Chain A
């Protein structure tokens, strides 16, 4: 039970910002939003996570709505190497044995 909804695919032009949405309307107060990506046949790569504040790191920014029912992962300047499946996961920090992956969003970055 992934508890999240993501569009199956998105396109983005190289050099532009990629904004990947995720709906998680049933999120609980102690659950975090995690984002991972998987480049073809490799292990998933951690990108970022947050609870309620917006977060930024060297890879991406995470914007969480005030009601926490949705979030957006932003890749500020997408490159061809960012082409991957992006997974949004909602999980409590003491429940990593319930870390379920949904279908994710296939991001296609085009020249």
Chain B
């Protein structure tokens, strides 16, 4: 397994502002993944973050809206920019281990 710390655990934000979510892993990992889970929905992959290169975004997600940093092998951030109420979701980071993907506890974001 992996110990993944995600901060903040929840936040309430105003429309038009930005929020940066941090993900810290207890050991070095090559790939980190960011997911979004909208209310009542399943998880959707936003992007894959590799250290030393730009993140790879899935269809429907763009770097201007969800910029990602990956400064080293144990840390990543996801920023939700210029937020609107439609961005209210749970955001999750995950890492790959030999036995599968392991997830942080998530950031519950509410945009007013």
Contacts and interface: CB of A to CB of B under 8 A. Distances in A.
Contacts of B45: 97-100
Q: How many of chain A's residues touch chain B, expressed as a range?
A: 10 to 19
Contacts, number: 50
B53 interface: no
Given A41-B108, A43-B106, A49 B100 contact: yes
B84 interface: no
A102 B100 contact: no
Nearest to B35: A101
A96 B33 contact: yes
B42 A102 contact: yes
Nearest to B98: A93
Nearest to A97: B48
Contact of A99 (B4, B90, B101): B101
B43 A44 contact: yes
Given A41-B90, A44-B43, A46-B1, A97 B102 contact: no
A42 B42 CA distance: 12
Contacts of A44: 43, 92, 101, 103
Interface of B: 1, 4, 6, 31, 33, 42-45, 48, 56, 90, 92, 94, 96, 99-106, 108
Interface of A: 34, 41-46, 49, 87, 96-104
